[in-house]
A and B are shown apart, each in its own frame.
Chain A
């Protein structure tokens, strides 16, 4: 079956512009995570959605970052007024439930470059 998909695969933008990154999780997966992967920094947790519960936004680095998940499926991560330090690979993952030991399935990532 189809795995997690993300679009675009690459995004180059100018400093100060807004960007939207999309994630399509595996059908039926109720949990969705966003991470940021920066060189030498590992994976940084950004936000977690579980079903219809309020999302855990504790990992968002600033108020320029926001995310939503419509209809419990597709999620969009928005970065407003992008800065050069936002350049990274943004990964989305989904899992079949909210239990931590459930396997996360990762998408291919969106590579964001802010000039």
Chain B
């Protein structure tokens, strides 16, 4: 069963515009949710996790249990935000489930 869904494979926004990368999950317990990012020719790395309630590089993500969503948002996109973004869920067994990823392009 698909636990993490990222409906957009590709997303393009203009520099300075708001951006939202969607993530929906399916899990009956209390999940731990993450966003990972892979910049061009770099390794996959953690961007943020919901338990930290932090803002990294201007990005935030709020866990909405009612809508089972964990969308990633940034009010003003920058060119350096162009990358591949993966939403991930971890269950109580420490197994991780990643979405298929969204490729974000910020147009100058």
Contact = CB atoms under 8 A, between A and B. Distances in A.
B95 A59 contact: yes
B96 interface: yes
A96 interface: no
Interface stretch (B57-65, B74-82, B86-94): B86-94
A98 B9 CA distance: 31
A30 B20 CA distance: 35
Interface string A33-72: 1010000111111001010000010110000000000000
B94 A45 contact: no
A40 B94 contact: no
Interface residues of A, number: 28
Contact of B44 (A59, A99, A106): A106
Contacts of B9: 40
Interface in B1-19: 4, 6, 9
A91 B44 contact: yes
Interface of B: 4, 6, 9, 32, 43-46, 49, 51, 86, 88, 90-101
A35 B98 contact: yes
A43 B99 CA distance: 7
Interface in A66-109: 91, 93, 98-101, 103-109
A31 interface: yes
Given A43-B44, A50-B94, A56-B93, 15 more contacts: A42-B99, A42-B101, A43-B88, A43-B96, A44-B98, A56-B95, A58-B95, A59-B95, A100-B90, A100-B91, A100-B96, A101-B49, A101-B51, A103-B49, A106-B43
23 contacts: A33-B96, A35-B96, A35-B98, A41-B100, A42-B4, A42-B101, A43-B86, A43-B98, A45-B95, A45-B96, A45-B97, A45-B98, A48-B95, A56-B94, A59-B95, A93-B44, A98-B94, A100-B90, A100-B96, A101-B32, A103-B46, A105-B45, A107-B43
B65 to A, nearest CB: 17
